[in-house]
A and B are shown apart, each in its own frame.
Chain A
Amino acid sequence: MDSDSEPSNVDRLYVDGRFGQLHVRAASPAEATQKRPLLCFHLSPLSGIVYETWLGEMGKDRLALAPDTPGYGMSDPPETQPSIGDFAAAMGDLMDALELTEVDVMGYHTGSKICVELARQRPTQIKHLVLVSAPVYTDDELASQYAQMGEDRPPADDGSHLLEAWAGHWRWRGPEQSAAALMRIFPDALRGGERRPWGHRAAFSYQHTDHLPEVTQPVLVINPNDDLTAFTARIEPYLNNGRVVNMEHWGHGFLDSHPAEAGALIREFLNE
């Protein structure tokens, strides 16, 4: 473990997008840099809080941004169930608002699909894609995932909804993800009410197998040891211009526990 410290030097801001305000965490070096900005998209149903430590790492030599996906964290929600295309378009709004002409993107679970779709929507502006997990499902597996995560679980009088949600996160916490680190992000997974499953529903309606082969930009798939490991192991045939690195010693929270190691791996790819 190279760090378990609290994040630092990360500011928060709002920009306007098609669904209202987008809430964004940002870090950048004190002096201007020629390196492309890095946009980081989170997993469902969390927020950009999962990238706070990571932004501190990547913000050392470039502008690093982690928006809250519309409807999550502090970003305004769409009025109806969005698609991955809607989420990606909102991230395009962010690029326009900040006048970012070329960027690299990184996405975690649901965020990996936003990356792929944004690369399709803005093929000349997205230069590299880093995908933390890129699952390939059978129809039965997809139905199972949807049943587990695509439905809202309203508050119960006995508090069992909290225990269930906690158990799901605790079961899949990373090998070096401390309980305190999990507690720092977990409350964000409880927000959103009836809209909470929208991110998962959008993700389960968008298949990497349909869209990733169209992506010609360089792609790095990181396959850590988490709940999508087995599904991500099937992605290689669908990569047009990419590779998979298996990181068995990483799990959820690796961006908090291994920021420098992850930074070295990803910087090497982004500099190719």
Chain B
Amino acid sequence: MQSHERRGYITSPYGQLHFRDHGAPNSREAVLLLHQTAWSSVQFRGVQGYLESAGVRSIAVDTPGYGMSDGPAECPTIEDYASAIAPVVEHLDLECVVLAGHHTGSSIAAAMAPNLPAQLGGVVMHAPSLYTEQERRELLQMPHFDQTPKPDGSHWLKRWEFARGATAGKAKLTSTHLSVSMFFDTGPTEWHGHHAVFGFDLESALKKITAPVLVMSNTGDMSHEKTQRTLALRPDFEYTELDGGTVYIVYEEPERWAQPVLEFTQRVAARG
């Protein structure tokens, strides 16, 4: 699929914030795409091409500290991420935005929603991480992956085997390769995004959202079961479930993932 990507930077509290922009540059309506940890905006390359072909502008942002965006030295909060990313909306002069987050991106979208009262058209959250207080405390205590480089390269192999195991070997080798290389490219602060999620009061944020929301999940995602908690909390949210897939579904099956996002965006636009 032919697409025309324009990449750029804006200034953020942590340095520079990197984004990928697809679609009509003069459109003031767009989907703002927020990736999982420890990926980057490249996760949405196929999705952005699909949305562009449907006439929808999209902007995928590298979360601070990931991809090409500068990050803080200390672990930020989800609210910090949201505050750093929100200026993209003003920079690109957008008047109607659908926030679409995947995993960590879902939490960031929930935190951003109150920051965009005038521009927010809707929110898409794939596998929002609604943990119990005890789960969050336990997750925050988990040790970080040891990135210490070894002469024999075993640090790479260890992470490769972890990534293959996490998808039960079902993920494509190319997406596993991308995941592992981005994990080390992010460096020793790769855990920041997850810790920010574990420290975030998503439940309170979900309760406050008044805009239309589409929750998504895929049955092959390790967070699939937890996604149901969000639906129990907010039964008024729309829900789309995709069969199978992996935690890399956005990258591996972009059209299947983007189709419900597109339809939701069109419904939001029709409501005005």
Contacts and interface: CB of A to CB of B under 8 A. Distances in A.
A193 B153 contact: no
Contacts of B68: 12, 74
Contacts of B173: 154-157
Contacts of B164: 157, 159
Contacts of A187: 181-182, 184-185
Contacts of A180: 149
Interface in A140-162: 154-157, 159, 161-162
B55 interface: no
Given A183-B184, A193-B174, A163 B7 contact: no
B238 interface: no
B161 interface: yes
Contact of A186 (B7, B148, B177, B184): B184
A181 to B, nearest CB: 10
A55 to B, nearest CB: 14
A229 interface: no
A236 interface: no
A106 B175 CA distance: 35
Interface in B186-202: 187
A34 B157 CA distance: 50
Interface in B1-50: 5-9, 16, 18
Interface in B142-189: 147-149, 151-153, 156-157, 160-161, 164, 169, 173-174, 176-177, 180-182, 184-185, 187
A188 B177 contact: no
Contact of B16 (A12, A190, A193): A12
Contact of A162 (B149, B180, B187): B180
A166 B153 CA distance: 6
A191 B181 contact: yes
Task: Kindly state the interface size class of chain A when it binds its partner.
Answer: 20 to 34
Contacts of B161: 159
A179 interface: yes
A23 B9 CA distance: 11
Contacts, number: 67
Contacts of A154: 173-174
B149 A159 contact: no
Contacts of A188: 185
A11 interface: yes
Contacts of A166: 153, 156
A157 B176 CA distance: 10
Given A183-B184, A193-B174, A23 B160 contact: no
A74 B161 CA distance: 27
A155 B177 contact: yes
Interface string B123-149: 000000000000000000000000111
Contacts of A179: 148-149, 151
A14 B174 contact: no
Given A155-B174, A170-B151, A190-B177, A163 B157 contact: yes
A13 interface: yes
Nearest to B174: A155
A182 interface: yes
Contacts of A163: 152-153, 156-157
Contacts of A161: 177
A213 B61 CA distance: 47
B7 A23 contact: yes
Interface of A: 11-14, 21, 23, 74, 76, 154-157, 159, 161-163, 166-167, 170, 179-180, 182-184, 186-188, 190-191, 193
Given A159-B160, A170-B153, 5 more contacts: A11-B16, A14-B8, A159-B157, A186-B184, A190-B177
26 contacts: A12-B18, A14-B8, A21-B7, A76-B5, A154-B173, A154-B174, A156-B173, A157-B164, A159-B156, A159-B157, A159-B160, A161-B177, A162-B156, A162-B157, A162-B180, A163-B153, A166-B153, A179-B149, A179-B151, A180-B149, A183-B149, A183-B184, A187-B185, A190-B181, A191-B181, A193-B174
